[in-house]
Structure 1
Amino acid sequence: MKKKKLVFLAFATIAIALLLEAGILKYVNDSNTYRMSKVLLDRVITVLNKNDDSENGLIESLKDDYIVRAKAVSYIIDAKPQVEYDVEELQKIADLILVDEIHLFDKNGYIYSGTLPKYYGFSFDSGEQMEYFKPMLKNKNLTMCQDVTPNTAEGKELMYAITWNEAGTRMIQIGIEPKRLLKELKQNEISAVVSDMPVYKGIEIFVADSQTKIVKGATDSRQIGVKLEGLVVSSDKKSGETDVRLIRIGGKRCKCLLSQYDDYIVAVTIDSSFYRQGNIFAVLIVGVYLVLASCCMFYLLSRVMKEKYEKEKLLYISNTDELTRCFNRHAYEERINNLDLREEWIYISLDLNNLKHTNDSLGHAAGDELICAAANCMRESFGKYGNVYRIGGDEFVVIITGNTKEFQSIIESFDRRVAQWHGKLVDSMTISWGYVFSSEKEWDNIYDIAKEADERMYKNKERYYQESKIVRRR
């Protein structure tokens, strides 16, 4: 049975390889044509960008408008602090203010909230585009707006504006795609650009208005002003998509690639004889090579991926707490056995308050909600600097190995996050903690540090119960 599967797999791979080989020439030709079209577009944009006199006024007016929008977002979040960590509510604010993105930065320049969670953790050090805003860290009265720049994560062309909130506790950044500006840049004269484009013999390039289909620029200047339908073919493709067809121009059979970019359609025609290169033997050699390589690579890759998946799955299960998705006690024991007392790190012992009372009065579902909420707060506050471990029912340990000098602000941020939390079954929660720096003194072993952190945590817990006048239930 296994042999039949392997034979079937081999034939399937060979078939795919042969189809791939049959499509190589088409792919290469279309790719080359696309690159030529892209060069044309880049050339047009370059020329448009030189018209600084007409563009500067527009850019400055946009910057002023975007800064006002950033301040408006800041005022809304200050007035409704509960939306600070709510992605859906922040997106509603973005739609209301007519912006594409909202990012919230902490005092250190790290994104901790916003409409795009995938950007969380980015900072002013994450790339050239974001480094532009570093002066904000030194002057809380400063507001800044960036020119149209590809963003660090995806290269999208956006304008970003940023401001501090009134309390000076966070920075609010908005990102907007300046469609009006980009449109005006593209409306500059392109006929001279296209006529100067270097092309091989047998290749012609046309740029036409996407609405009127009138040719605005062409390597053959005699075609300017001609409608594209009469010259080549029309295209109903969406922006950025390509349409490849075989047509005849002047009695010659040509391959035509059409690609629409917003307000323009770029057409590249290539004489069919341009592609008559190589011979059948070269195609066969490449085909055989692809068949053999595909069979080997597919087999090896499937084996490697299967082994890797099994190992990762086993490692994850053995080291992860099922309820909270934190590291479990097994992972904790392994970690503390590898800690070095000669290095500086922080051991934090944490324990939920009133968990037994919550379980008894509201049920274990409410207790689980508290435990999961506590774990989430710990991961969000400490996850960038160390690991979070659940070592018991409501007992957690955090070991911080990075940014120990900023620990005070980290723990304060954690307290604020806990204080702001509200659940579905439980209104609020409190967590007692105690921490120890490995550099406080010379310790005999790591377990002495853990014991000291526990004692400090229990002192804080006792203080909490005394101040809140709650009788502990044992």
Structure 2
Amino acid sequence: MKKKKIIILSIMIIVVALLLEASILKYVNDRNAHRTSKVLLDRVITVLDKNDESRNELIESLKDDYIVRAKAVSYMIDADPAVEYDVNELQKIAKLMAVDEIHLFDDQGTIYSGSAPNYFGYNFDSGAQMEYFKPMLKDKSLTMCQDVTPNTAEGKKMMYAITWNEDGTKMLQVGIEPKRLLNEIKQNNISNVVAGMPVYKAMEIMVADGDTQVIEGATDSSKLGEKLEDVGISVDHVSADGATVTRIRMDGKHCRCMMHQNDNYIVIVTVEDSFYQQGGMIAIFIVGAYLVLASCCITYMFSKVMKERLEKEKLIYTSNTDELTRCLNRHAYENDMKKLNLSEEWVYISVDLNGLKRANDSYGHMAGDELICAAADCMIDSFHEYGKVYRIGGDEFAVIITENTSQVEELIHGFDSNVANWHGKFVDSMTVSYGWVFSTERNWGSAYEISKAADARMYQSKERYYKESGADRR
């Protein structure tokens, strides 16, 4: 029964834990989706706002873009700290964000990680090009982007953008070769700008005309020229004051949609629910498997402990129980006698069957066993609520009463009644002799001295019985 309760409790704990984990994962996934969408939305808006300006303005916009990329990389690393020291993963992020280099600086201005290990150890004092970023050390709200400059390590012409992460513990720098400027200038129309933006699978970016709502740029080129309402997006609540988040169904899939409208464009970023669900399900499965395994181990260990405990209790019971009468045996009697306190009041009763040998000789040992068991049953029925019953010899018993000692005569009377009313299968009746002694009658040397006094009174009782009944003392 206990094992069944433990299994049910374990199942309930697993279910609650998985529901809690699912809730936490949903919260975390929604938060990550919001942050990622916001980064992409900000980046698109930044690029579009600079799209129609002059070459110099375009360069400045690229600086802004590179800072946004630096921030985006910073968000990605903060969201997944495991990639902070993983060169391969940082190289993948660099490729994803369309940058050539990623460098992580500590709060002293020293490169400690990044996508290019040969730059590790360089700091803001390593050369004029790196010294440009020293103001970052004094103002953690600062972001900087450098003009095309030969870098310190290789003399390679690069543009570097740098920003602090959200909690201000490290700086994130991205580097881009200037040869990309021409390509970016050529790709100054909306469709090329949006099509070239890196996004994860299950994410989409769309830019629509603010008046006609026709899609002019999209990471999915099949949507170009369609209206937003035709692809399942309603702009009834879109605002120019900030990002609007809503739920939509697009291409038969449930998505989280973030929108922002400025004077000319409506910018949309969508993230499919499946983007995080697969990882969440894997996480839930792993945790569920771990909890099931842990519960099985705990149940097994508990069952083993309970089994050992039951076996130990059974062994203790067997070692202290008389096999024939099921009352306590001589071993238990000796242990309890040593624990008795002579300063407290208790009663020792010595009990002995009359005529057991005659019953054995006349009716057989089954009759004798019947008498012994009957005497034990009468004693247990009369005294077990107030003390313990021991079989200490063949037909010799001892009763030690520790509760309600003032009622001992009433208990003895009840015992006499039980004995007198007993009738057996092999023997019609039985008689017993007994004697009792209070521990407070006088000062005793030991509990065994009290038992001897009770034995003496029992033998006096037995002597009277044989004398009055004239029965054979065998």
Q: TM-score, normalised by structure 2?
A: 0.41
| Greater C-alpha Rg | 2
Normalising by structure 1, report the TM-score: 0.41
